Amino acid sequence: MTDLELLGKTIDIAGVIKASRETRVMVSAGGQTYQYKTKEVKSKGETYSGIAVDGKAAGSMYAGKIDIISNDKGAGVNTKGDLVSVDDVVLTANGDITTNKVNAGKKVVYKTPKKVRIKGETTSGKKVQIKAKETEIDAKVITGYLEEALGEKSI
């Protein structure tokens, strides 16, 4: 699998990121250090109260796997465009996470000590995992549809 890595204190996505099904797209925001050889991101423990990763309505991502990380304490993730992955979509933040449309061939994972807001539609071939203090769902959520329709060997 090849990698496309976007790193910065804050990241605004206002266009389409379209990668191959063999590409992992990682978007990581906040005060952080990055080890190129190991692909490891470590937070510096800084604080930021805004949206660290902001995906505008036109800010869609299509890839083999999508990882969105907001490292700073209190910093959130907001995606209004599509997040579409053959594999997993993983969103990790120390602030609120809001998504509008997520489609993963395997899992959709939300991790935050704050609030997760799922809007629009979330579709997962296997399951949706949420680890948050609070969850608000105003969406159509579909899980396990591929396994049931096509059989496990088709995935």
DSSP 10-72: SEEE-S-EE--TTEEEEEEESSEEEETTTTEEEE---B--SEEEEE-TT--EEESEEEEEE-S
Q: What digits encode the pLDDT tens for the residues 10-60?
A: 999 999 999 999 999 999 999 999 888 888 888 998 999 889 999 988 789
pLDDT digits (tens, 9 = 90+) for 100-139: 999 999 999 999 999 999 999 999 999 999 999 999 999 9
Look up the CATH number of the domain holding residue 112.
2.160.20.10
Residue 95 has pLDDT above 90, yes or no: yes
Q: What is the pLDDT of residue 149?
A: 55
DSSP at 73: B
Token digits for 18? 């379209």
State residue 57's pLDDT score: 82
Task: Give the total number of structural domains in the chain.
Answer: 1
- The whole domain housing 83 covers 2-154
The pTM for the full model equals 0.89
Note the pLDDT of residue 145.
Answer: 62
Closest CA to 66 of 31, 130, 110: 110
**Greatest CA separation found in the chain?**
46
- Please tell me the predicted confidence (pLDDT) of residue 144: 82
Tokens representing 82 are 């599509």
Distances from the Cα of 51 to the Cα of 11, 44, 105, angstroms: 9, 17, 27
